[in-house]
Structure 1
Amino acid sequence: MNQDQYILLYEKFLAGQCTEAEKELLLKYIDGFELKEHPWEDTMGDREAIKHEIYDRLATQVQPVKKSTSSKRLWWSAAASVLLVLVSVVFYKYRQGQDVIPRQNIAARVHIVKPGGNKAVLTLADGTKIPLDNDKKGLVTDKDGVPVKQNTNGQLVYDLRGKKGKDNTGGKKIKEEELAAVMNTITTPIGGQYQVILEDGTKVWLNAASSLKFPTVFNGKERNVEVTGEVYFEVAKNVAKPFNVTFNGNKISVLGTHFNVNAYAEEAKSKVTLLEGSVKLSNTAGSAMLKPGMQALVTDEHSAITTRKANLEAAVAWKNGYFLFEDENIQSIMRKLARWYNIEAVYTGNMKGKEFSGSVSKFENVTEVLDMLELTGSVHFNLEGRRIKVMP
């Protein structure tokens, strides 16, 4: 695990979103970490004050990207690297049974808008809705004849191992085609994310305000699912059964591959980004074949498909626990923050032509993200509950 991965996991831990497996990984890492023998002492000063001082020192490195000038990148990850000492020490104190946040500061932090977490709703074929979160471990339902479980990593798993081959009495063999294929839907709210493992072994990640509609069993000659919002797929390879994803009237056809679909209704274009394998994107206007490292853009089911080289890290940053902005305007950035933090952005003044690049953990409080944006000096914020005023 490198420093960036450690920092992201730490932020996830501090937000209370770590799975048991991730906590174990942090514990193993900190056991061998050199700084564990150097705990933070009161004589070193207030940790939060020094943290903000570090950000201030980095302000000269933090600049907005402007089309009319040479590109200066906003590397918030540099600040995160400098803060590695601080977060490592705080985590060490957790291991020693001490409070991560001093008790006198907890009340002052209650008003802060916290990040989203693992939560969703599973809707069964009969309309039954089952809330999902990190606390729901083990069997979730087997109402449709297929056991659905949540494992210790917080993934929802459609597990047919106990069904294929034998019936409930342990005698008669059951063929896959005899299992009822009914439709389920998993939906994440604003401020939610979730992972699902389908019965064929395909792994699916859902970003905030997204949905996946899928059969409990992939009977027939194809595997068909439907998505809204943003969803990442690692499709289990099966040459005999193509895997098809539909969104906004468009269709993605694959055999086994890794790709990301961004199809939020509020975005001007939908994007399909390919990381591994090959995919075919098609609609009523035509089709396009994608190779790894490419991205397809489409407006709707009747519009022409265009392709370009993709920034793969930016496309899947959300899945890996952070925001990564690439020459992005403030409106686009605030839409991403709104989906994850459940906030509303309103604008005053002229924000045209102001673009930003950089990265920051998804598990920071929203005030931390806004503070780092403000370091550019070209944008300011006024936080009123969950309403954020954006000003030049």
Structure 2
Amino acid sequence: MRILAAMSGGVDSAVAAGLLREQGHEVIGATLQLYDHGTATGRKGACCAGEDIHDARDVADRLGIPHYVLDRERRFREAVIDDFAGSYARGETPIPCVRCNQTVKFTDLVTLARDLGCEALATGHYARRVDLPDGPALLRAADPARDQSYFLFATTRAQLEFCRFPVGDFPDKAAVRAEAARLGLAVAAKPDSQDICFVPSGRYHEVVAGLRPDAAEPGEIVHLDGRVLGRHAGIARYTVGQGRGLGDASRDGETPLYVAALDAPRRRVVVGPAPALPRASVEAGEVNWLVPPPAAPLRCAVKLRAREAPRPATARWDADAEGGAGLLRLDLDEPGIVAPGQGCVLYDGDRVLGGGFLRRPAPAARVEAAGKVDSAGAAA
């Protein structure tokens, strides 16, 4: 086959390309330059910019395959970085890796691969793709600690048909590095990228403040019962479930407090005790199905955050909601913490059924007393 290999400059995508080349495929390497090459040079924890582009080119030279660098800075800024900042300004917790996969990587690279006459697109993601009687299926990686299927839920069925994930069957990262060494690739010992690729410093609120100053405006920290407990320096610094960075508002007497909701219009951070945070019912929009949408309630497992284990739930698909776009409603067997903007991914065993983006919970109840707030953080 002629296969386009997405090469980020890291060891995983390098091994993916190397394995396919060794298997006799005609491999073409492609690296997306996603943000400023100059400012990224020498930074640790980045990808798709700076030294990583040079590393990808070196791997291509070692493998004897052609390599192209594609400038997608503008596309990445509009589809990922601007969306990232806007999400925080709305009081959500974005997941930029999903947006990047959904837009720049899979949409653009699949188009490029087809333009080049390729029969498949290969990436270094830790996930598995298998052909089943009902079509291609996306499965969790063999290494549960590295599994990235959660970040691939927005991959369409047509894209999945075209994609390959050569490192998904490796038992752990050590085995991938050993394979890179066997192939003679200089990136065998290269450290993993860390944090958000375009914010390697970890100070994401600074990026958000530069693009959306309203997300950095100070406001009140308010208890669920309406008491004002303190001040904050911008809602972009907080996410639901967070306990750090609350200052004097981190405790109510002897009771630790956590972020329960973000009220962006009023610039309020709403806090409460841990038992008040979990929810038994959640909703997700922008849903992508990798199986036919269920016509009846469906028992499944769901992940509400990338690093949590799937939890049992019952899913209901309302195809007519939101003007026909559809809405996924879930009843969790055990309540979980819901951070609007994060992914909500459904599994049947190892198979990804589909997923969407968590929506802001509807108020469980309005508190009639003046000055109090409801459980979704809106003024009563």
Normalising TM by the smaller chain, what interval?
under 0.3
* TM-score for the superposition, normalised by structure 1: 0.25
Greater per-residue helix proportion = 2
* TM-score for the superposition, normalised by structure 2: 0.25
